Amino acid sequence: MTTSAPRSSPLALTVLALLHYQPLHPYGIQRLVKDWGKEQVVNVRQRASLYRTIERLNGEGLIAVRETGRDQQYPERTVYEVTDMGREIARAWLEEMLSAPKQEFPEFPAALSNLLLLTPEEMGDVLQRRADALAEQLDGLEAALAAETERGLPRITRLETEYLRAVTAAELEWVCAVVEDLRAGRLSWSKEQLDAVAAGPVQQ
- pLDDT, tens only, 99-114: 999 888 899 999 999 9
Q: So what's the pLDDT on residue 73?
A: 63
CATH architecture assignment, domain 10-99:
Orthogonal Bundle (1.10)
Judged against a pLDDT cut of 80, whether residue 202 lies above it is answered with no
Q: So what's the pLDDT on residue 2?
A: 40
Q: So what's the pLDDT on residue 1?
A: 35
3-class secondary structure per residue, the chain: CCCCCCCCCHHHHHHHHHHHHCCECHHHHHHHHHHCCHHHCCCCCCHHHHHHHHHHHHHCCCEEEEEEECCCCCCCEEEEEECHHHHHHHHHHHHHHHHCCCCCCCHHHHHHCCHHHCCHHHHHHHHHHHHHHHHHHHHHHHHHHHHHHHCCCCHHHHHHHHHHHHHHHHHHHHHHHHHHHHHHCCCCCCHHHHHHHHHCCCCC
Q: What is the mean pLDDT of residues 119-127?
A: 94
Q: So what's the pLDDT on residue 142?
A: 96
- Residues 145-187: pLDDT tens digits? 998 889 888 898 889 999 999 999 999 999 999 999 999 999 9
Mean pLDDT of the chain: 89
- Residues 33-73: pLDDT tens digits? 888 778 888 887 778 889 999 999 999 999 999 988 766 66
